[in-house]
Structure 1
Amino acid sequence: MNTADLDLNTPAQLNGMGVMITGGTTGIGRATAILLAQKGADVLIVGNSQDHLDDTLNSMQQAGLQSRCTGIKADLATADGIQQIFTKADEVLGKVDVLINNAALAHQDVNDGNYEDWERVIKTNLLGYIACTSYAVDRMAPNGRGHIVNVGSMSADVREKGSSVYVATKAGIQGFSEALRKEINEQGIKVTLIEPGAVGTDMQPAAPEEQQQKQKDLEMLTAEDIAAAIVYALEQPLRCDVVELKLRPHLQII
């Protein structure tokens, strides 16, 4: 990448950027999509539930952001689903400046479920990240610019009992992100790994009321907290890479 004519000190401008967010219809993905659209980015959100997708797009419309957001329902555990979302990105965005890999399925340990269940979780949570990244890099590299954000989890380090299948995918994302940065930074593409602690989302087993109380008690983050961290990483100037961010609730002592 030739940086001679670029201002290395100016914060990146999100206005007009083409952003794809997987798992963009609930929780962290939805909060991030709304915040980026408010900042002028053109956002393509990907979800696996038509109801969640419609609800998010309706919220965007009510906020006057409908021109900034498009959605697609796709299965990221399949090669066809991943090809489908990038065909859509080429159609509606015309470019992919930013990929936010966020889609994930919850799972417990090896005594929970069967081979097909584990296969689907691993394909969605890990292989989906790898495949989407490959497709995105193909579109970013010719421009010499781009940013991959991988949303992981504290589980990659804590490795808590009772969630070994989920932990395996999040540990995989951590390793993938670290090696990926060494592979694509010379092409002008940044890589950021976000590893949140407990976040109030629909993946949490606790009821919404209990999650809200935990947030008030400083024991749980909000999806908006993580969205703000993602935007912080994206807005850094060209010379600055936010390689990894670990966010924990103040009173989540790990």
Structure 2
Amino acid sequence: MEKLTNYFGQNIKDKKIVITGGTTGIGKAIADVLVSLGGLVLIFGRDEKDFKNAVADIKKQFPKSEVYGIPADVTKKEDIDKIFEIVDGKLGGIDILVNNAALAAPGLTQGTYDDYKYIIDTNITGYLAFAQEASLRMKEQKSGHIINIGSMSAESRTAKSTIYVATKTAIRGFSTSLRKELNPLGIKVSLIEPGAVTSDMQTDPKAVQHEKVEKLEMLEAYDIAMSTLFCLSQPKRCDIVSMQIRPHLQII
């Protein structure tokens, strides 16, 4: 049997990785894990302070790491173009895309048109745009892996988050169809759907979130990062098509 340390690092070292929304929460945790295994990582988020803090923290943890990126917004075409200029220039290509940038959203009756249009542009159009740009590059090398971070909201469909449910249900369908389109090109597609996870998207204060973790009612961001690593670590013959991770006591 192969050593597990080799198994989990086999598809990460020296791979060129882009993580949308990689400066906080799940995205930052994924960046930490993949950098620790030798991945060349590009991260970005909308907030410049969060971006600087994330890069500084990664450099502190892993002084020899290579981290790229700029503050950017997935809803802006000019920002998408800037990210892929870095991909093509400094990063030297892309092997792995983690589509993660997303916003929480309330019920339909609580938001304005402009509010939910921006959320849809972030949670859906952003995923499509980055998957398109990544796949155009991956198909030339006949390899690559796209991971879409979805949500168990696509299954629970609560009344309090209608808009968010709509976007994450769309990502579930998109991921299924995208895999059928890209697999013949040598590109893998995986969907990861977390349950409740500690993050800035949660309405509860941090202290309450930590209490829920202790009560097994909420996940840590690193739980999702390790699930992402598991998907990425499979041999070429093996696809993790979809994965659901729920807190032990979150009954959906």
The TM-score bracket by the shorter chain reads over 0.9
Q: Which residue of 2 aligns with 1:69?
A: 67
Amino acid at match of 1:108: P
Return 5+ residue gaps in structure 1 as ranges. 1-8
Matched, 1:146 2:147: no
RMSD over equivalenced CA pairs, Å: 1.4
Aligned partner of 2:20 in structure 1 is: 22
Q: In the alignment, what sits opposite 1:89?
A: 87
Contact 1:11 1:238 in 2 (8 A): no
Question: What are the equivalent positions in structure 2 for 1:215-254 lying under 5 Å apart?
Answer: 215-254=213-252
- Residue of structure 2 equivalent to 1:187: 185
Out of 169, 172, 175, the position equivalent to 1:174 is: 172
Unaligned runs of 5+ in 2: 1-6
- Offset of residue 89 of structure 1: 1.3
User: What is the CA distance between 1:113 and its match in structure 2?
Assistant: 2.4
1:23-38 aligned at under 5 Å gives the runs: 23-38=21-36
- CA displacement 1:207-253 (0-9 Å, x = unmatched): 11111111111110000000000010001001000000000001111
CA distance in 1: counterparts of 2:9 and 2:41, whole angstroms: 20
Farther off after superposition, 57-66 or 75-84? 57-66
Query: Aligned partners of 1:68, 1:227: CA distance in 2, in Å?
Result: 19
Say if 1:253 and 1:10 are closer, same or farther in 2 by CA, change over 3 A: closer
Structure 1 residue 117: deviation in Å?
1.1
> TM-score, length-normalised on structure 2?
0.95
Matched with 2:3 is none
What amino acid does structure 2 have at the position aligned with 1:243? V
Work out which of the residue numbers 123, 126, 151 in structure 1 matches 2:124: 126
Distance 2:196 2:29 in 1: 16
Q: Is the 8 A contact 1:10 1:237 kept in 2?
A: no
- Report the CA distance between 1:27 and its aligned residue: 0.4
Q: 1:65 to 1:188 in 2, by over 3 A?
A: farther
Equivalent residue, structure 1, for 2:77: 79
SS in 2 for 1:252: coil
CA contact under 8 A between 2:192 and 2:228: conserved in structure 1? yes
Q: Is 2:37 the partner of 1:39?
A: yes
Residues 38, 65 of structure 1: 8 Å contact kept: no
Q: Report how far residue 98 of structure 1 moved.
A: 0.3
With over 3 angstroms needed to count, the CA separation of the structure-2 counterparts of 1:207 and 1:159, relative to structure 1, is: same
Match of residue 53 from structure 1: 51
Report how far residue 46 of structure 1 moved: 1.4
Residues 1:119 and 1:139: Cα distance change in structure 2 (over 3 Å): same
Matched residues in 1 for 2:8 and 2:33: separation?
20
In structure 2, the partner of 1:157 is 155
Q: Distance in 1 between matches of 2:173 and 2:147?
A: 14
Aligned residues: percent identity?
45
TM-score by length of 1: 0.94
Q: Distance in 2 between matches of 1:112 and 1:219?
A: 26
AA of the residue aligned to 1:219 = E
